[in-house]
Amino acid sequence: MKLSVTFICLLATFSFIAKAENDPPKKKKRGSYLIELPASLNNSNDSAKTIAPLAAAIEVPFKPSIQVGAIVHMFASGEQTGFGAPGNDKTAKDWNKGFSVYRARVLVGGQLTKKASFFMETEIPSPIGIQSNGEKNVKVSPIILDAQLEYTFTNAFQLVAGMQLVSNNRNGLQGAAGLMANDFTYFQYPYNLFANSPLQGNFGRDLGINARGFLANDKLEYRLGVFTGRNVDGGAPLRTVGRVAYNFLDAEKDYYYAGTKLGNGKTLAWAAGFDAQANYYNLSTDVFFDHPLGNAGSITVNAAFQYMTGGTNIDSKYSFATLIPKQTVQFLELGYYFKKTKLQPWIRYENQDVSASAEQAGAVKPVNFDKNNSSSVMGGGLNYFFNGTGTNLRLSYTTRTYNVATATADEYTKKTFGQLWLQAQFFIF
């Protein structure tokens, strides 16, 4: 009797197994979708190859996303009196010392649809700490720095609308977190920095619409936009800014350019651009090279040249003749990143050479008008990257040289002022 019961149980078990092997596979649930897996996948060595196109064919519903970050630059500094604007004393021995929060930005970005995204950024309008007049400032209300909406029609055509960074050269379009030197250059957008500047900018930003796209396998990038520029009565002509860049090696698709890439990738980019409104125009060209060099690390070279003028038509309602004198600007940065020690020494040179016409200098051009308005910058430093552009420490010494009048009529002497920074950065986004 016991043997018969045992035999019946075994027979039932084998029948269940046989039925299971012959049954079609069950539907497996993934998220909110049911995926029918073919029976052939059970014994196939190419299961992964077969499943991949099936998974790719599944349409996942789009969900808007948001991202929040911050960038802070804080430093201890020493700066000689006259570094920002020279006086008439020849000694330049007095040093202003102190601690400052130079940048404190909150970044918010997000994907609104599959093709639409937005970006917003705040900024403190002046450093927290010792000001240029020697007074201490400890309370600063933030302002809106960037507020832009981007829509991608195709890879070759995108539109960016709102308050955005505007420049015809690379350094003027770099992100603050990716700088190689301690700060932006002095002359890359000298007339677009503040509301009282000739182009009435906001830390290099302006309001408008910018088209951008990539061609030739993403090697060729173009930017072309129209912006408000200088406008005091609502009837001013629009400001037009354009730029074309060709990448001979790796493509660059970030909206804000990097000032150094710390050996990540190989970049050789050449570009040319223009910036114009009414009788003002600015023509520029720039070259950027970032590439591994030797086993130790990588080299970064960033160079630019600009020619700009406010024109000579002083009768125009929106004349820039007396606001922006004719000038050329040369710029060079050179650095080397040691990947093992995470150190990067760098040097920088800038020169602003003014050669104004008589109309730009007034009814009668002063003898030394050009010298009064020309200056140059030399500097260098050492960066230590704890975590790339996320967290780093920068030590720099920069000098600025002016032509300063002497007691003798129409004679000038060069005067140099120094600035020492020890800057800490943290950035997350």
Instruction: Please report the pLDDT score of residue 91 as a whole number.
Output: 55
Average pLDDT for the chain: 86
Nearest to 363 by CA among 411, 324, 307, 321: 321
Torsion angles phi and psi, residue 342, rounded to 5: 65, 30
Q: Is 408 or 181 the better-scoring residue by pLDDT?
A: 181
Q: Is the pLDDT of residue 293 over 50?
A: yes
Instruction: Please report the pLDDT score of residue 78 as a whole number.
Output: 92
Paired tokens of 189: 């957008």
Least confident of 43-47, 86-90, 208-212, 412-416: 43-47
The answer to whether 118 and 112 have CB atoms below 8 angstroms apart is: yes
Instruction: Please report the pLDDT score of residue 1 as a whole number.
Output: 46
Q: 66-428 adopts what CATH topology?
A: Porin (2.40.160)
- Give the three-class secondary structure for 171: helix
Paired tokens of 344: 């990067």
Across the range 245-267, mean pLDDT stands at 95
- Distance from C-alpha of 420 to C-alpha of 399, rounded to nearest angstrom: 9
Quick one: 425 exposed, middle or buried, by C-beta within 10 A (0-12, 13-18, 19+)? buried
Q: Is 101 or 50 the better-scoring residue by pLDDT?
A: 101
**Percentage of residues of the chain with pLDDT beyond 90:** 65
Paired tokens of 39: 């029976």
Q: What is the pLDDT of residues 46-75, one digit of tens each?
A: 555 556 565 556 778 899 999 999 999 999
Our CA dihedral for 56, 61, 64, 69, rounded to 10 degrees, sits at -40
| Residue ranges covered by each domain of the chain | 2-56, 66-428
DSSP labels, 394-409: EEEEEEEEEEEE-SST
- Please give the DSSP secondary-structure letter assigned to residue 182: S
Contacts of 119 (CB under 8 A, 6+ apart): 107, 108, 109, 146, 147, 148, 150
Read off the pTM. 0.83
Instruction: Please report the pLDDT score of residue 189 as a whole number.
Output: 75
**Percentage of residues of the chain with pLDDT beyond 70:** 83
Instruction: Please report the pLDDT score of residue 185 as a whole number.
Output: 86
